[in-house]
């Protein structure tokens, strides 16, 4: 694997299949990122194959972005609930352990409007998924963690990270540093990696808070879905957090602030992507795509540990 691949060109390649031109979600403002589109999806409750609705093109772009709908729509998506959309909805329902009926029931619509990570659930080329089935202790059902074929080479076990200073940061850098230090420590405890804060010039991992369309990122925060953050697989090293969400770093403030999200919890999740992990279907896993508001989730679950061990055996 080439060690030096341009961050954004890699990200652009990765996102070709999920790039969208969605504008329906782009009406949020600081402190409230439950955009109008969330309410729009509520209108789809009960919809199924054969019906039409003006919000369906937005839903198709959403499902395409997250890897569930393969259709390529050069001239835009239609308002019709077709068989491809039904198949995509079934796939989506299966991922989130909902009844895979293909009908947009209340539970499915509720799941669709949850704030989530912007990384696709179904991993496409050039990072095809290698899914490993494992058993969860005390649970008769199997669980899945997702792995990509993008990993850091054995020569890259000491990774340097940098937090970009900009006007969108919700907290002073001195307050954010310990939060990210802890988040990296969580993964370092269960992997062969060592993470050290560094300058932007020499860091492999670049963290920052951004709003809407940012830098040359192929995945804008005002594009598809209510996005908390996103990160790209190795060797990208890019981790961006949506500055338009309400963030907390103090557990008590988190508990007492409506619709607030914990920076450390999101950081631990996104670092998993930086190391090459995809999304897990296990709700308790760090690598599950959604995070509840006012919730702290910073400890790796057995599924996350199995995933990172499969990707980087401790001897490597």
Instruction: Please give the residue ranges that form the binding site for Zn ion (CB under 5 A).
Output: 117, 119, 217, 240
CB of 103 to Zn ion, least distance (A): 27
End-to-end CA distance of the chain: 16
Between β-strands 142-145 and 132-135, what pairing exists: parallel, antiparallel or unpaired? antiparallel
DSSP state of 90: H
Closest-CB residue for Zn ion? 117
CB of 119 to Zn ion, least distance (A): 4
Identify the active-site residue in 24, 194, 270, 284: 270
Of residues 44 and 183, the one with the C-beta less far from Zn ion: 183
Of residues 102 and 234, the one with the C-beta less far from Zn ion: 234
Contact 293/259 with Cβ under 8 angstroms? yes
User: Measured between alpha carbons, how far is 145 from 305 in angstroms, rounded to an integer?
Assistant: 10
Between β-strands 238-242 and 205-210, what pairing exists: parallel, antiparallel or unpaired? parallel
Of residues 89 and 119, the one with the C-beta less far from Zn ion: 119
The separation between CA 249 and the C-alpha centre of its own chain, rounded to angstroms, equals 20
Contact 224/267 with Cβ under 8 angstroms? no
CB of 274 to Zn ion, least distance (A): 10
Residues 6+ apart with CB under 8 A from 189: none
Is 270 marked active-site?
yes
CB of 281 to Zn ion, least distance (A): 13
Of residues 38 and 278, the one with the C-beta less far from Zn ion: 278
The set of catalytic residues is 270
């Amino acid at each position: 694997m080439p060690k030096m691949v341009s961050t954004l060109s890699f990200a652009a390649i990765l996102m070709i299949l999920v790039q969208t031109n969605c504008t329906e979600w782009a009406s949020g403002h600081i402190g409230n990122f439950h955009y109008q589109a969330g309410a729009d999806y509520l209108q789809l409750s009960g919809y199924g194959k054969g019906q039409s609705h003006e919000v369906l093109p937005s839903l198709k772009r959403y499902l395409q972005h997250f890897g569930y709908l393969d259709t390529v729509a050069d001239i835009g998506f239609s308002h019709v609930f077709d068989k491809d959309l039904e198949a995509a909805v079934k796939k989506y329902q299966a991922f989130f352990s909902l009844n895979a009926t293909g009908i947009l029931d209340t539970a499915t619509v509720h799941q669709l409007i949850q704030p989530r990570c912007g990384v696709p659930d179904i991993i496409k080329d050039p990072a095809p998924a290698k899914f490993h089935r494992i058993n969860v202790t005390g649970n008769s059902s199997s669980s899945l963690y997702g792995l990509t074929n993008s990993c850091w080479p054995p020569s890259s076990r000491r990774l340097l990270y940098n937090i970009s200073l900009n006007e969108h940061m919700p907290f002073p850098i001195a307050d954010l540093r310990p939060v990210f230090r802890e988040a990296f420590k969580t993964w370092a405890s269960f992997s062969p990696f060592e993470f050290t804060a560094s300058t932007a010039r020499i860091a492999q991992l670049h963290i920052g808070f951004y709003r809407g369309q940012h830098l040359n990122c192929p995945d804008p925060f005002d594009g598809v879905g209510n996005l908390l953050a996103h990160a790209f697989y190795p060797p990208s090293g890019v981790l961006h957090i949506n500055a338009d969400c309400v963030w907390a770093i103090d557990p008590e403030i988190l508990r007492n602030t409506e619709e607030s999200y914990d920076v450390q919890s999101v950081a631990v999740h996104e670092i998993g992507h930086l190391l090459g992990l995809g999304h897990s279907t296990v709700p308790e896993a760090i690598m599950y795509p959604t995070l509840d508001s006012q919730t702290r989730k910073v400890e790796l679950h057995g599924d996350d540990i199995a995933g990172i061990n499969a990707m980087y055996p401790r001897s490597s």
